[in-house]
Structure 1
Amino acid sequence: MASAASSGEYTITAIKGKFLSIDSTGARVFLNVYGRRPGGEPLTVDDLSSHFLVNYVMYADYNNRDRLGYGNVPLNAQSVVPDGDHLTMIFDVKKPTNASNAVLLTEISETTSGKKSLNDIPIRFKATKLSDRFSLYSPNGQLPQLKNYVNVNDTVVIRDVAGTSKQLYLFRYKHDFDPAQSPMNTSSRPAPRSLAVDTALMVMTNQPIQLPEEGLYFFVEDTTDAAGLGLVAVDKRFPRITRPEKLVKPVLYMSTSQEITELNNATDAKKALDRYWLSLMSGNEEVARRAIRAYYNRVEEANKLFTTYKEGWKTDKGMIYIVLGPPDRVQRSRDREVWVYTKRANVSEINFTFNKRPNQFVEDHYELVRYVEYQPIWYPIVEAWRTGAIRE
């Protein structure tokens, strides 16, 4: 989760990580590191090497602090590469003796303040899944892209660290997945629907390909495989949402069922959406503009952070993030995350628990544990959105 950088400090604002198997003896780790210089500009490679130290420890499990290995990461032009709005750190770790799995905890320390930023990644040295070995890479094949979406018609490459040429089956599903249910909706989830394959073809790893239509794409080594590598192909503006008929959808989380019905049935989505926001803000255009900007900024961030087999705003994490913003604290274990919010809606602390669930398309699928007791927190915050009281 990102946090604002303090003026006068070199600050890490977010870290996102992934491993790829090299062979049976080790794995390559990639960390996307987001940070700020004292003036607010993004960190450079020189900034990271001059102002930070990076160490790692491998543990047997989240609940088992037996150290299986440790080391430090030299920060230089080989181990740190600029990649758009962030830096990508690359280093290898060896498989510990008599361990096929480990939790890698990486610590990035700012040398002046001593402030530490942590990242944890479960590593499977016995690479059992396609996604343990292969990943979406940048078109030039240099760096893995730590996201589950691509824009339609962008050139993409699926590859491993060795650049192996391998034939994969690719299936496309054209399916509009449902958005998250309310945090108070404790009724049992509907049984998953089987998805109909819209297109099937063969592709080669380490070769540029294009995904020409929106939808969920699924790469597998064998048609009988239960798990593979999933990617959502989305329109060119994603993670931003700009088309009126798509802008209508995410306001679900702050709307009544009647408002949603009216928006969905409107013949002119743009006019209906303008009417919706203005009526909520009692006709005050300036307040409406601020609320719209704040809300859709959250939607865009949710899409960047939480897109899995469906757009990030539709996920359980995305819903909580849009309405409440980034958590003040995250507690993570092997199969769950707890988001802790402090001082929301006159409550000193509120927790949202997300349980990790198996998913054939992606590794990071989490489901919220829902409680009716969230009502006294949720409704006042939704009301603050509806009156334009929330500021970004």
Structure 2
Amino acid sequence: MKNPAALLLLLLTLLIAAPLQAAPRRDFASQYQPGRAVEVDTRREGDSLRVYLRFPNRSALRRQVPLHVMGWANFDDRKPIWQDTVRGAARRLRSDGDMDRLSFTLPLSRLQPGQALSMAFGPAEEAMNGDAAWLRLMPDNLNRGFVLIDSLSRPLMRRYVRAREVFGVEAYTPGQALQAYRYPLSSLAAAPPMASSSLLGEQPRTLGLQDSARFNADQLLRLPAGLYLLRVGNRGPRLGLLVEENKFPKITSADELIAPLIYVSTSQERKQLFDAPDPKKAVDQFWLGVAGNDQDRARLLIRQFYGRVVAANDLFSAHKAGWLTDRGMLYQVLGPPETVYRSGNEERWVYRGYQAQNSTFVFRAKPSTFAPDNYELVRRPEHEYLWYAAVELWRKGLIAQAGR
């Protein structure tokens, strides 16, 4: 083509017609895979923020490469505001069974509420993907000057304990008083994803205080079951703590085994299980009936169903047991999300090809004093088909064969 103007016109036409190849969105699905997510906690120390990390499966010790830290305006941004490496991070690693632990400090002047941190060992790119340790910066975790510890003075890295389990509070400023306020536990399960606002009803806006107690922040504690708010000193952020009975997050009693069946059974079926002379045996019979009297399939169904309950408890427990929350409900019936997108105050869980269709569930952040990382499902009528199809798989004992 000898005409330069015609050549330029052709090139412009091709550029306009060609599809724009946008960078793939960051996928956070690994954050909801048990045993894969890096756990994060924080404590304010003067003009610094101490960050505690716990890596699963000795993954950090194997890498032995720099720890990259990046600050982001939001979870879905493509370019960090700043980035740095933690000096001597490999020397600070401590082994804890099959876990690796590490802590370091960042200047508070770098950190702003609403932003996010990502952290990972390896090349800088590792800290940019959804498999890294991610933390939404909020006034709670930027200003709280204490952290929960276990009986060996290691950061607890969770917001629940078992009744009478020994734990403590380690404050940056020693010698302070610890105030503990106890509220009743909730047993209210999440409504189905297609439920209307009228079905949800009016939710209580406040909880009634049951009692309170005062301790030294440096002493080890054992607390009875309840939902607690902990505060060190007279001012500053409070921390919600869930104290559950038995072997939580595992479930062992008959009542604990029956209650999560609310998502896949009728109220009459659950009443019969609760009223049975031997409720645990009745639960086994329920699953055996679901499995068509196939004992091997019944065992697999029990392992899958209650394995998800335990995982939901571990992942989402805050103001109540994890399986009772919106994310826990979906996790239990549909399984871990295949893809998770985060942007602003939203999470989107994507299930691809489930029951021959793709579905996206939207959660919106609804933080509270007890649960600053709580998300609430946006319920929609179009979720009804997939929900009942998934429940039907459980009811027919086919969930294991479906690979979910």
TM-score calculated relative to the size of structure 1: 0.83
Name the SS for the 1:248 alignment partner. helix
Q: Which structure has the larger Rg over C-alpha atoms?
A: 2
The total of aligned residue pairs comes to 369
Superposition deviation, residue 95 in structure 1: 2.8
Corresponding letter in the other structure for 2:54: N
Cα separation, partners in 2 of 1:316 and 1:343, compared to 1, 3 Å: same
Conservation of the 8 A alpha-carbon contact between 2:31 and 2:37: yes
- Write the distance in 2 (CA, Å) between the matches of 1:114 and 1:26: 21
- Equivalence map 1:1-392=2 (5 Å): 2=30, 13-23=36-46, 25-34=47-56, 42-43=57-58, 46-49=61-64, 52-62=65-75, 67-74=80-87, 76=89, 78-96=91-109, 102-109=115-122, 117-124=131-138, 132-141=144-153, 143-160=154-171, 162=172, 164-188=174-198, 189=200, 190-192=202-204, 194-211=206-223, 213-221=224-232, 228-347=238-357, 349-391=358-400
- Write the distance in 2 (CA, Å) between the matches of 1:356 and 1:239: 24
Q: CA deviation digits over 1:108-144, x for unaligned, max 9?
A: 44799999532321335xx567973222112232x32
Superposition deviation, residue 155 in structure 1: 1.4
Conservation of the 8 A alpha-carbon contact between 2:32 and 2:315: no
Conservation of the 8 A alpha-carbon contact between 2:42 and 2:142: no
Cα separation, partners in 2 of 1:338 and 1:157, compared to 1, 3 Å: same
Superposition deviation, residue 375 in structure 1: 1.6
Name the SS for the 2:210 alignment partner. strand
Cα separation, partners in 2 of 1:221 and 1:138, compared to 1, 3 Å: closer
Instruction: Report which of the two has the higher share of strand.
Output: 1
- Write the distance in 2 (CA, Å) between the matches of 1:106 and 1:267: 52
Q: CA deviation digits over 1:25-68, x for unaligned, max 9?
A: 3211122222xxxxxxx32653131xx54312213444777754
Superposition deviation, residue 148 in structure 1: 1.2
Cα separation, partners in 2 of 1:84 and 1:174, compared to 1, 3 Å: farther
Superposition deviation, residue 390 in structure 1: 2.1
Corresponding letter in the other structure for 2:48: G
Structure 1 residue runs without a partner (length 5+): 6-11, 35-41
- The structure, 1 or 2, with the larger RCO (C-alpha pairs under 8 Å, 6+ apart) is 2
Name the SS for the 2:197 alignment partner. coil
Name the SS for the 1:197 alignment partner. coil
Instruction: Report which of the two has the higher share of helix.
Output: 2
Corresponding letter in the other structure for 1:204: N
Cα separation, partners in 2 of 1:166 and 1:58, compared to 1, 3 Å: same
Cα separation, partners in 2 of 1:317 and 1:197, compared to 1, 3 Å: same
Q: What's the RMSD between the two structures over aligned residues?
A: 3.2
Cα separation, partners in 2 of 1:168 and 1:303, compared to 1, 3 Å: same
- Write the distance in 1 (CA, Å) between the matches of 2:332 and 2:221: 33
TM-score calculated relative to the size of structure 2: 0.81
Conservation of the 8 A alpha-carbon contact between 1:336 and 1:354: yes
Q: CA deviation digits over 1:305-326, x for unaligned, max 9?
A: 1111211111111111111111
- Write the distance in 2 (CA, Å) between the matches of 1:115 and 1:58: 10
Cα separation, partners in 2 of 1:355 and 1:76, compared to 1, 3 Å: same
Conservation of the 8 A alpha-carbon contact between 1:152 and 1:214: yes
Conservation of the 8 A alpha-carbon contact between 1:278 and 1:288: yes
- Write the distance in 1 (CA, Å) between the matches of 2:205 and 2:278: 31
Name the SS for the 2:155 alignment partner. coil
Q: CA deviation digits over 1:297-343, x for unaligned, max 9?
A: 11111111111121111111111111111112211234221112212
